[in-house]
Amino acid sequence: MKSFFWFNYILVSLACGSLSQEVPVITAIEVKTADVSHAGMTLGSIDLELITPEFTICLIENLDSENDDFSAGDINEFTGSQLQECLDFPIPGGQVALLRVTHSGLDAWTPEWIRVINSNESFVQCNDGYEIDNSEMRAQRSEIKDAEKYTV
Ligand SMILES: [Ca+2]
Ligand SMILES: [Ca+2]
């Protein structure tokens, strides 16, 4: 009889644990292209790879929307199927440990920042500001202290 009660207790605590943990998922990515000469990119593309603190990874190949993207000084937002396997991807604690940017094509691009926006209406921001070109790959760290309430 005693073991029966213990069994019940364990079941209840597991159920409460899963209810109280809502893991945020990725809902949008925003990039700002720097407002300096040659920062914009038309004859090139980028891949984004997001790595969470739990080492899960999602990949966006050729980040693109139906709009003109990556013009100098512009902010571009990517949502829905544009996020490919990163759409609704769980990011525990709203954190992204690393954001890997890979460039392809003939035209260099200078990002000012990249934001990963999640379903808790917060985001993490990776500040950049350096030109990427010639199939370079760069990893950017973002810290949880960069997360702010997303109000736009
Ligand atoms: Ca350029
Ligand atoms: Ca486009």
pLDDT in tens, 92-106: 988 888 888 899 998
CA of 2 to the centre of ligand 1 (A): 71
Find the ligand nearest to 63 CA. Answer: 2
Looking at per-residue pLDDT, the higher value among 135 and 63 belongs to 63
Q: Which tokens hold the place of 51?
A: 């790595």
pLDDT of residue 139: 65
Q: Is the pLDDT of residue 14 over 70?
A: no
CA of 77 to the centre of ligand 1 (A): 19
Mean per-residue pLDDT over the chain, rounded? 81
CA 3 to each of CA 6, 7, 8, 9, 91: distance values in angstroms, whole numbers, following the listed order: 5, 6, 9, 10, 37
Find the ligand nearest to 71 CA. Answer: 1
Q: Is the pLDDT of residue 2 over 90?
A: no
Looking at per-residue pLDDT, the higher value among 20 and 83 belongs to 83
pLDDT of residue 134: 75
> What is the DSSP secondary structure assignment for residue 21, as one 8-state letter?
-
| Class for the domain spanning 23-149 | mainly beta
**Residue 105, φ and ψ in degrees, nearest 5:** 105, -165
CA of 41 to the centre of ligand 2 (A): 10
CA of 34 to the centre of ligand 2 (A): 17
CA of 124 to the centre of ligand 2 (A): 23
Q: Distance between CA 82 and CA 57 in Å, rounded?
A: 17
pLDDT of residue 146: 41
Structure pTM? 0.78
Q: Distance between CA 37 and CA 96 in Å, rounded?
A: 30
Q: Is the pLDDT of residue 84 over 90?
A: yes
Find the ligand nearest to 44 CA. Answer: 1
